[in-house]
Amino acid sequence: MSFDVNVEADSNDITEHPHDDKPRPYLCTVCHKQFTAKGSLKAHKEIHITGKLYSCSQCEERFQTQRYLSIHMNVHSEKYKCAECGKCYKNSHGLIGHIRSHSGEKLFECIICSKRFKRPDALVKHGRIHSGVKPYKCLLCDKSFLRSDDLKTHTRVHVGDKPYKCSVCDKGFTKSSDFQRHKQHVHSNSRPYDCLYCGKLFKRSDKLQLHVHTHTGAKPYTCRHCSEGFTWPNQLKAHLLKSHNEGTWFTCHICEKKFTHSCYLHRHIPRHEGEKQAIRLQ
């Protein structure tokens, strides 16, 4: 993987940093993040070259550099701790923005829709909704994103990076939110959501809501082409694919059978392992 450095910044280079007016002429050509110093860009390149070698001993999150791990450890050391609710942050900017959540203070207003925000960077990101600008493009599939963080998370899909590892089953996750959801619902026996119709228990409220549709007969998922209604979102997805050729088939590389959802393909593939075992026993 090679890197180019833009040494001449233009007016479009200064993004995502509304809290200061420092020029950031050094551009990472992989994720488009910008830096004020060449040394900072050089250190940043480690993210794209090396794996996440530095693990947090407190929460198991991993980082590409020792510096990023040190910044993260502020969360556990309570260096930037909210005096009102006790929540901790890795830097002062995060803490200051959080404190406004208690006061309700929203100083930054969108000139188009008048929506107000607690942080200037939140206002900048919101403004892209009105302009339709998605400045962060994936170099591998050309998909565009509003935020650099979203691009960074998306890139993991291409490189197979799953930095969030479950200590119980060793399953890896691309996103922290998926990892937290996995820990809460897969390895916990708690089922706090019960159906008022049949008493069935669920770990997640969204699963309960979908289940209730089987009792009420509701079909909230409607095809935009023919207005046919469906109880489950996967039913609508399968309908769009089969009836309107909209979506992506998931194809088995062994027998070329097609599936409407990746989970169905994953369930199917082990059957071929059983076939191979039967052949070896003959």
- What is the per-residue pLDDT across 133-154, written as a single tens digit (0 to 9) for each? 788 888 888 788 877 888 888 8
Q: Which residue has the tokens 């900048």?
A: 124
Q: Give residue 3's pLDDT band: very low, low, confident or very high (50, 70, 90).
A: very low
17-31, 94-108, 164-178, 223-237: which has the minimum mean pLDDT? 17-31
49-53, 94-98, 169-173, 195-199: which has the minimum mean pLDDT? 49-53
pLDDT tens, 202-213?
Answer: 877 888 888 888
pTM: 0.34
Mean pLDDT, residues 259-278 taken together: 75
- What confidence score (pLDDT) does residue 279 get? 55
User: How far is the C-alpha of 117 from the C-alpha of 132, rounded, in Å?
Assistant: 19
Tell me what percent of the chain is helix, strand and coil, each rounded to the nearest 5: 40, 15, 50
Classify domain 66-185 at the CATH class level. alpha beta
7-16, 120-129, 203-212: which has the minimum mean pLDDT? 7-16
Could you tell me what percent of the chain has a pLDDT over 90? 0
Q: What are the sequence ranges of the domains in the chain?
A: 1-49, 66-185, 249-282
CB-CB contact of 76 with 58 (8 Å): yes
For residue 190, the Cα-to-chain-centroid distance in whole angstroms is: 25
Which SS3 state, helix, strand or coil, does residue 229 take?
strand
Q: Give residue 47's pLDDT band: very low, low, confident or very high (50, 70, 90).
A: low
What is the sign, positive or negative, of the torsion defined by CA atoms of 144, 9, 28, 43? negative
- Residue 139: CB atoms within 10 A of its CB come to 13
- What confidence score (pLDDT) does residue 276 get? 56
Rounded to whole angstroms, the maximal C-alpha distance in the chain is: 75
CB under 8 Å to 251, separation ≥6 — which residues? 257, 258, 259, 265
Give the helix/strand (H/E) hosting 212. helix 205-216
